[in-house]
Amino acid sequence: MIQPRMTHQREIILQKLRSVTTHPTADEMYEMVRQHLPHISIATVYRNLEWLANNGYAQKIEVGGRQKRFDGTTQPHYHVRCLTCGRVDDVHIPVAPIAEGLKSRAEEYTGYVITGHSIEFTGYCSSCRHNKTKNGNAYP
């Protein structure tokens, strides 16, 4: 079977994805990519983002009930999501020591062979905290 190749469209999409740290949605990527490829369709952007994620060029971040986001950083790392605005940021803490302990325990408790995991931290970003404090409210 012939393996799909890295097309010009995929290269542009990946280049744009790696140029930001905002973990954009496919719709946001579409707006970014259209500046360089004005005739590209939203379906093409979706399909190519999926291809990039499935082939190890990007990560797909799927958080419960929200739009998928994409990350141009493929090294294992964690994310934090704002509960107010949905913003997603990287959490720069070592993954390996935590992951091995979790993997072993999960395999022990479930009988599964664990091939990966995802930990999502949640909280309130500085912008949302500032806006809420400015309006006289506070987070718990």
The model's pLDDT over 77-110, given as tens digits with 9 standing for 90+, comes to 888 989 888 888 999 888 766 666 888 899 999 9
Residue keyed to tokens 């302990």: 101
pTM to 2 decimals? 0.78
The closest of 81, 80, 24, 86 to 52, measured between CA atoms, is 24
Angle ∠(97,102,108) on CA atoms, nearest 5? 135
Domains, the chain, ranges and CATH? 1-72 (1.10.10.10), 75-140 (3.30.1490.190)
Per-residue model confidence as pLDDT tens digits over 47-70? 999 999 999 999 998 876 578 899
Instruction: Pick the most confident of 12-21, 72-81, 123-132.
Output: 12-21
